[in-house]
Amino acid sequence: MLAFAPHPDDEIAGPGGCLALHRRAGDPVRVVVASTGAAGDPEARFDAATYAARREDESRRGLAEIGVGDAVYWRLPDNCVLSDSDYELGFELATAAIREYRPDVVYLPWEAEGHPDHHALHRIVIEALRRSTFVGLAFGYEVWNAMVPDVVVDITAVAEQKRRGIRAHATQTAYVDFEHTILGLNAYRSMVHARGRGYCEGLRRIAPIAAPPGDAT
């Protein structure tokens, strides 16, 4: 299982319950976090010199709460307008990650995520899936924009792990009560699919993406 996150915390907020379930089942899970998240302190509440390292540490501690110890950090800048060369670097990094890990399942931000960094990473991973001729399962997850899901996963059994994972991100919960909002979204997902009991994560199924015949990218 390979999950791509735009910032340190999206790996918990989005597919954190699914990743925890994978770990309970004994599945290997790797998380790739694209950016440092250095733009996540707009009011300068924290020490700028140590902020990026602090966010990475929060990510590692949050992942530990859901049983994930394998994480890769690209440490790219966030909240930027990406050039063509920026996208090409992203394509190369994501393609290498997929080819190295050879996952059966990939998680990435879904196509209509409102945050520009999330949208950019969706585009990057989709192209990487094509370049790597990935033929497994790929699912888009939601954080900033609710979707009409294709798949709903009951995460009730691991919801408290996800809650603790969210709490590990103190720099972010200082600004937004993500425990309330994210688990609230997960509770809402249970309304139809679990009779309003517990917590669920919604996912969008991404069709297999293969390189066109003769494409040697």
Q: Residue 212 falls within a domain, yes or no?
A: no
- Tell me the pTM: 0.94
Q: Residue 216 falls within a domain, yes or no?
A: no
Q: Residue 214 falls within a domain, yes or no?
A: no
The model's confidence at residue 210, banded by pLDDT at 50, 70 and 90, is low
Q: Could you list the residue range(s) of the whole structural domain that residue 200 is in?
A: 2-206
Q: Residue 167 falls within a domain, yes or no?
A: yes
Q: Residue 213 falls within a domain, yes or no?
A: no
The answer to whether the beta carbons of residues 152 and 200 sit under 8 Å apart is: yes
In this predicted model, what pLDDT tens digit does every residue of 63-107 receive, in sequence order? 999 999 999 999 999 999 999 999 999 999 999 999 999 999 999
The pair of structure tokens assigned to 108 is 């990435």
Number of domains in the chain: 1
Q: Residue 75 falls within a domain, yes or no?
A: yes
CATH of residue 108's domain is 3.40.50.10320
